[in-house]
Structure 1
Amino acid sequence: MSSSIARNSYKLFIGNLPWTISSKELKTYFSRFGHVANAEVVFDKQSGLSKYYGFIAFSQRDAFNGACNQETHFLEGRVLNVQRANE
């Protein structure tokens, strides 16, 4: 990732993801808050299965704040654990 993208992105850790969720679906869900620069679900390299967490990077602070400020996020019946990512 180039430094210009890193400097201008606002990143969230997303935990408790359903195992059925792909990066595309994660991006689609969080796009309601604004432009998603990057969406990534983390998978186990050995098994290929989801590790039940991922990351979202927004390109605008307003979108990032909107996602942070929403009290509860539901995806496929699960409550997501959404918090600021540690860079």
Structure 2
Amino acid sequence: MNIYVSNLMNYMKDEDLQTLFAPFGAVTSCKVIIDRYTGASRGFAFVEMSSDTEGKAAIDELNGKIIDGRALSVAIAKERSEKPFTNNRNFRY
């Protein structure tokens, strides 16, 4: 199960998420999303758990939980939709 986690503190790392989700079951992967220009966290992440029941338990327990003064938002991640290429013909160089 792929889980979306938002409202993270800027200093949170992949290992911190691993520690946070580990009590609920086997964590397959954790990825804090980093801004490519600044190198700082963008405040959200994705956690993948091996079992749907473990993932749902983690969501139920961690959604709204206060971590370092912020309430986490934890939900099932939505599938990424492919954006069609649009040619902007009005663009001028």
Q: Unaligned 5+ residue runs, structure 1?
A: 1-9
Q: 1:16 aligns with which of 7, 10, 16?
A: 7
C-alpha RMSD of matched pairs (Å): 1.2
2:25 counterpart of 1:34: yes
Q: Share of identical aligned residues, percent? A: 27
Say which structure is richer in helix.
Answer: 1
Task: Give the length in aligned residue pairs.
Answer: 78
Q: Unaligned 5+ residue runs, structure 2?
A: 80-93
Q: 2:67 aligns with which of 51, 75, 80?
A: 75
Question: Max radius of gyration: which structure?
Answer: 2
Secondary structure of 2:43 counterpart: strand
Q: Structure 2-normalised TM-score? A: 0.77
Match of 1:25 in 2: 16
Work out the CA distance in 1 between the residues paired with 2:41 and 2:71: 17
Match of 1:63 in 2: 54
Work out the CA distance in 2 between the residues paired with 1:30 and 1:74: 14
Q: Structure 1-normalised TM-score? A: 0.82
Work out the CA distance in 2 between the residues paired with 1:26 and 1:12: 11
